[in-house]
Structure 1
Amino acid sequence: MTTPPVPAPPSWPIQKAVYARLTGDPQLADLLAGGVHDYTPEDTPYPFVVVGEAIDTPDNRHGGYGWQTVLTLHTWTRAEGNGQAFAIGARLTALLDHQPLTLPGYDHLVTRYEYGQILTDPEPPGDIRHLVLRYRIVTEQPT
């Protein structure tokens, strides 16, 4: 049996698919004055979401190749308290956790919410909230 050549890790197609999913959702758009970005212009209004870093790890199986990609999303707000960040995070998770993704060149197996942490900017005036969310996306080489 001949194994097809190894495709590149899927982080770029994943980022594009997640960006399309997030920017195409009217409920999320209603929560974000500044939108969704992979690069954030300096004058972007709060709140906004950044599609951030990705880590690809091989997850091969007998006769094929697979990956686990951990994608980080960053939510930034200036609201008092954590409520706004958590509401945005809940919508992000509803859009991604155990939801199918179309990834050209890869079979998407599952996306799982993995981690969330709220941080407060310690610099004066200390009014920026940063919610870090991580999702594990499992893919494999098409059969």
Structure 2
Amino acid sequence: MSSAAFALQQAIFSKLANDAATTSALGGPRIYDDVPARAEFPFMTFGQSTERDWSTGTEKGYEHVITLHVWSRAPGRKEAQAVIAAARDALHDQDLPLEGHRLVNLRHEFSEARRDTDGETFHGITRFRAVTEPN
């Protein structure tokens, strides 16, 4: 059985890569775990993720925190915020199929957009919390 964290990442990737609003905001399915050299802007990356034991006295379970990053070189925050909004709409409260696990819930926790230290890139951050159980 695959880990719950990896199954969740696969499901999130699939949902975002097949979501018309997200791919439109990105200009294509530019969603990466490992960014290719010279990737075209804007793009989204998987950031830090954590998995914690969320078991009860009788049932196993896991709590996940998943961070997605958006990178934009468009003037202002508008493009980064559009990508974040599309991803939030695609994922918040959705029931995604997970290999070997069941998604109990998936909720948007927060988002922000800020200018990166290079002075020309806008960096969007959005975080989700999920709970999973093994099948």
Mark yes or no: TM-score above 0.5.
Answer: yes
* 2:91 counterpart residue number: 96
* 2:25 counterpart residue number: 31
Q: Which runs of 5+ in 2 are unaligned?
A: none
Give the 3-state SS of the residue equivalent to 1:45 in structure 2. coil
Is 1:80 equivalent to 2:75 in the alignment?
A: yes
Is 1:111 equivalent to 2:102 in the alignment?
A: no
Q: Which runs of 5+ in 1 are unaligned?
A: 1-6
Write out per-residue CA displacement over residues 42-79 of structure 1, whole angstroms, 9 at most, x where no aligned residue: 21111011122210011111211111100110000011
Write out per-residue CA displacement over residues 2-41 of structure 1, whole angstroms, 9 at most, x where no aligned residue: xxxxx77511111111111111122221211361111111
* 1:45 counterpart residue number: 40
* 2:5 counterpart residue number: 11
Q: Which has the larger radius of gyration?
A: 1
The CA distance in 2 between the partners of 1:95 and 1:141, in whole Å, is: 23
1:8–1:23 distance in 2 versus 1, CA, 3 Å: closer
Is 1:63 equivalent to 2:84 in the alignment?
A: no
State the shift of 1:111 in Å: 0.2
The CA distance in 2 between the partners of 1:33 and 1:107, in whole Å, is: 31
Segment drifting more, 98-107 vs 8-17: 8-17
TM-score normalized with structure 2 length: 0.92
The CA distance in 2 between the partners of 1:10 and 1:43, in whole Å, is: 31
Is the contact between residue 113 and residue 124 of structure 2 (CA under 8 Å) also seen in structure 1?
Answer: yes
Match of 1:130 among 102, 123, 133: 123
| RMSD (Å) for aligned C-alpha atoms | 1.5
Segment drifting more, 71-80 vs 24-33: 24-33
State the shift of 1:122 in Å: 2.2
State the shift of 1:104 in Å: 1.6
Is the contact between residue 120 and residue 127 of structure 1 (CA under 8 Å) also seen in structure 2?
Answer: yes
Identity of aligned residues (%): 28
